[in-house]
Amino acid sequence: SPMPERGDPQPAARLLRIHGKVQRVWYRASAQTEATRLGLRGWVRNRLDGSVEALVIGALPAVEAFIGWAHEGPPQARVTRIDVGAADDEATDGFEQRPTA
Say how many CA atoms lie within 13 Å of 12 toward its Cβ: 16
Q: Is there a catalytic annotation at residue 37?
A: no
Q: Is there a catalytic annotation at residue 41?
A: no
Q: Which of 14, 17, 28, 81 is catalytic?
A: 28
Q: Which of 6, 14, 24, 46 is catalytic?
A: 46
CB 95 within 8 A of CB 43: yes
CA R_g for the chain = 14
Catalytic amino acids? Answer: 28, 46
